[in-house]
């Protein structure tokens, strides 16, 4: 069976290529390399943000707004999640390169500054590895679910914190912070709707 375009690994490849081209253009369009890296860091932060929120809300939207599009999002959630991990890996490489060129960057950051991102990256790595069949089977279904559920909520909390703390610097950050809050609300409402649907199924079967 030949892979269909924009599904599975072709979808991941398309997103990965887009992220690499976007990052390269962000660097190339700036006359100064350091500023170019900063621009690419911001761009990959946004691509990661969009991809994560898409994966985070996919199942809720499928319950709340059933449609071919929302069902496709659930079907491709694994590959969207892997694209998010790839985007954030590129983001990390860009931050490292920026820190190498701008020697004042790392000394300005404290352990408290680095801890949320480090924890999030740890979960992103574990979740990406266990998105493959072999590691997932070794981990077991219960532990897999615990890891991925915990990781999702930690990552969404880090995104919320990262945007909230920047609001005093720019009111623009109210928008992404609000998007995170909306995504959390949508996911919780979706979970409630799903639970309610499950409770109604035995009653319908009995009727």
Taking alpha carbons only, the member of 192, 194, 183 closest to residue 56 is 183
What is the helix (H) or strand (E) element at residue 37, kind and residue range?
A: helix 33-64
What is the Cα–Cα distance from 182 to 174, expressed in whole angstroms? Answer: 12
- The DSSP call for residue 172 is G
Whole-Å CA distances, 42 to 12, 17, 91, 147, 154: 21, 17, 8, 28, 21
Q: Which two tokens stand for residue 186?
A: 């949508």
Whole-Å CA distances, 33 to 2, 167, 186: 42, 27, 40
Q: Do the domain assignments include residue 124?
A: yes
- Torsions phi, psi of 81, nearest 5? -65, -40
Q: Do the domain assignments include residue 206?
A: no
Q: Do the domain assignments include residue 127?
A: yes
Q: Which two tokens stand for residue 77?
A: 């959630």
Crossing angle of helices 33-64 and 77-101, rounded to 10°: 160
Q: Do the domain assignments include residue 3?
A: no
Return all residues near 56 (Cβ < 8 A) that are at least 6 apart. 152, 156, 183, 187
Taking alpha carbons only, the member of 183, 191, 189 closest to residue 157 is 183
Q: Do the domain assignments include residue 2?
A: no
Q: Do the domain assignments include residue 1?
A: no
- Domain limits for position 97: 8-201
Number of separate domains in the chain: 1
Q: Do the domain assignments include residue 77?
A: yes
Whole-Å CA distances, 155 to 14, 20, 49, 85, 159: 24, 22, 10, 11, 6
207 residues of the chain, pLDDT tens digit each: 444 567 899 999 999 999 999 999 999 999 999 999 999 999 999 999 999 999 999 999 999 999 999 999 999 999 999 999 999 999 999 999 999 999 889 888 888 889 999 999 999 999 999 999 999 999 999 999 999 999 999 999 999 999 999 999 999 999 999 999 999 999 999 999 988 877 776 655 555
């Amino acid at each position: 069976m030949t892979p269909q375009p924009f599904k599975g690994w072709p979808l991941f490849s398309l997103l990965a290529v887009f992220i690499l081209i976007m990052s390269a253009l962000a660097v190339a369009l700036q006359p100064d390399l350091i500023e170019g890296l900063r621009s690419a860091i911001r761009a990959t932060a946004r691509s990661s943000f969009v991809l994560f929120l898409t994966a985070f809300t996919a199942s809720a939207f499928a319950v709340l707004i059933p449609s071919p599009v929302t069902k496709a999002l659930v079907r491709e959630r694994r590959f969207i999640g892997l694209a998010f991990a790839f985007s954030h890996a590129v983001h990390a490489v860009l931050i490292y390169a920026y820190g190498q060129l701008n020697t004042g960057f790392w000394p300005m950051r404290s352990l408290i500054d680095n801890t949320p991102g480090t924890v999030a990256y740890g979960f992103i790595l574990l979740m990406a590895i266990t998105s493959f069949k072999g590691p997932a089977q070794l981990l077991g279904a219960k532990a897999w679910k615990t890891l991925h559920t915990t990781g999702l909520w930690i990552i969404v909390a880090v995104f919320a914190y990262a945007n909230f703390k920047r609001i005093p610097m720019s009111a623009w950050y109210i928008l992404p912070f609000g998007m995170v809050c909306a995504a959390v609300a949508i996911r919780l409402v979706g979970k409630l709707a799903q639970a309610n649907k499950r409770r109604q199924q035995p009653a319908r079967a009995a009727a």
